Amino acid sequence: MSSDLPSYFSATHVGKIVLKEKQKELDRPSHNLILDCKTRWNSSYMMVERFVEQYPAIVAASFDERLKKKDSFKKLQRCTDKDIERMEHFLEVMKLPYMITVAMSSEKRPTSGQVLPMIDKLEVHLAEKEEDEKFIKDIKSAIRNDLSTRYQDDARREFLQEATALDPRFKGSPVVTVDVWDRITNKIEVAQAQVQVKKEAEEGGAMPQLPLQVQQDGLRDTDTPPPAKKAKLTAMEEIFQDEDDVMVTHVEPPLPVRLRIQHEILKFKCMPKLKSTDDIIAFRGGESDELPLLSTLARKYLIVPGTSVPSERVFSTAGDIVSAERTTLHPDNVNMLLFLNKNT
């Protein structure tokens, strides 16, 4: 019913004129009706939302002498208050999924650290209430059943938990447990050990050949001037020479890597939580000197977007990739090509 009207008002000149007149008379926003599209995420929600918004103007237009005999409005005249009530319930349930899709599909730094906190919000929103009607319960149940099949892989879930922990906006989320921080600590420790091994290997391979070294030593023996005489110490320097030498030569041994990581994690936890709209890229760039070990690992998570592509142009991009000559591409390969197209 609601999909017939947008088509009619978009296709007929008279329909557009009458609807505009009724919108003005009833002080409705001057918005066009929206038609849902299978390849456009959220379009069903937007169609119903716009239909409910313009319902008084649509009813008034249906009784206009210029339009009331049209077939498109015969269905509308059978639209009951119960139908409108169901549409309103649909909007009430689907508003949060709609906003989550918009937030995760934007092109301005969506990150994987947002996924689990948003799922938590969605699960709370979809919990059944005693006062819910059967229609609402059916919608919630359908979404919960579909959601229960998502992000169940252990490796993927662990990655998202670690991404949430390293995101300064959601580091206090319930999904960030002690086990998550232990995994992060172990990953940084392993990475630092690999860096140390590589550094030692490079230093070991850079030793010069012995004959050349001997030749250079011979040249230095003949060309190097004798060392300058040390300046005579003052009375104060002679008195406290033993203590001055201790202060100059005493160096604290470096802390073990694991302890340094734990110190950085504790410091990160004590930092103020960022708002959901804050720029975490700028935050991570500013703390790279203060939390060097944690920031190095965090960069690997920040480059992973929450969704593979923005929703607005995903389907047109897929149409460009899956051409007539490439119709045998496996779906996994299509997803990979879409991801590379939007993130390189």
Give the tens place of pLDDT for each residue, 18-70.
999 999 999 999 998 888 877 677 888 999 999 999 999 988 888 888 877 76
Is the model's pTM score more than 0.75?
no
| Whole-angstrom distance, CA of residue 136 vs CA of residue 143 | 11
Q: Tell me the pLDDT band of 214, cut-offs 50, 70 and 90.
A: very low
The two tokens of residue 310 are: 């923005």
Last residue of a domain, one of 24, 46, 79: 79
Question: What is the reported pLDDT for 152?
Answer: 86
117: pLDDT strictly greater than 90: yes
Q: Residues 143-176: pLDDT tens digits?
A: 999 999 988 889 999 999 999 999 999 999 999 9
Q: Which residue has the higher pLDDT, 110 or 138?
A: 138
Total domains in the chain come to 2
Q: What is the mean pLDDT of residues 232-250?
A: 63
Q: What is the mean pLDDT of residues 1-17?
A: 76
Assess if residue 62 is contained within a domain. Answer: yes
> What pLDDT was estimated at residue 24?
94
* Per-residue pLDDT at 225: 60
What is d(CA 118, CA 120) in angstroms, rounded to the nearest whole number? 5
pLDDT of the residue at 313: 52
Query: Which residue in 104, 102, 109 sits closest to 303, CA to CA?
Result: 109
- Whether 243 has a pLDDT exceeding 50, the answer reads yes
> Per the domain annotation, does 30 fall within a domain?
yes
User: How wide is the angle at C-alpha 173 spanned by C-alphas 172 and 179, nearest 5°?
Assistant: 90
* Contact criterion met (CB below 8 Å) for 40 and 34: no
Question: pLDDT category, 124, cuts 50, 70, 90?
Answer: very high
In a domain, 155, yes or no: no
Per-residue pLDDT tens over the stretch 308-340: 555 555 555 666 777 666 667 787 887 788 777
Report the distance separating Cα 27 and Cα 57, nearest Å: 9
The last residue of one of the domains, among 59, 79, 99, is 79
DSSP secondary structure letters along 234-250: PHHHHHTHHHHHHHHH-
Query: Domain limits at 26?
Result: 1-79
Is 249 contained in some domain? no
Return contacts of 253-261, CB within 8 angstroms, 24+ apart. 257/188, 257/189, 257/192, 257/193, 257/293, 258/185, 258/189, 260/293, 261/185, 261/188, 261/189, 261/293, 261/294
Q: pLDDT tens digits for 286-295?
A: 777 788 899 8
Cα–Cα distance for residue pair 181/185, rounded to 1 Å? 6
Q: Which residues of 34-71 are buried (b: 16+ CB within 10 A; e: fewer)?
A: bbeeeebbbebbbbbbbbbebbebbebbbebeebeebe
Is residue 35 in some structural domain? yes
Residue 333, domain member (yes or no): yes
Q: DSSP code of 269?
A: H
Hey, how many other C-beta atoms are within 10 angstroms of the C-beta on 124?
9
Residue 7 lies inside a defined structural domain of this protein: yes
Answer whether residue 271 is part of any domain.
no
Task: Show the tokens assigned to 110.
Answer: 């969506």
CA distances from 206 to 83, 202, 209, 245, 274 (A): 79, 6, 10, 33, 46
Under DSSP, is residue 156 helix (H, G, I), strand (E, B) or coil? helix
* Mean pLDDT, the chain, whole residue set: 80
**Confidence bin at 2 (pLDDT 50/70/90):** low
pLDDT, tens only, 67-116? 777 665 665 556 778 888 999 999 999 999 999 988 887 766 767 899 99
- Measured N-to-C along each axis, helices 13-25 and 4-11 cross at an angle, to the nearest 10 degrees, of 110
* More confident call, 14 vs 259: 259
Domain end call among 79, 111, 139: 79
Residue with tokens 């995903």: 314
Question: At residue 228, does pLDDT exceed 70?
Answer: no
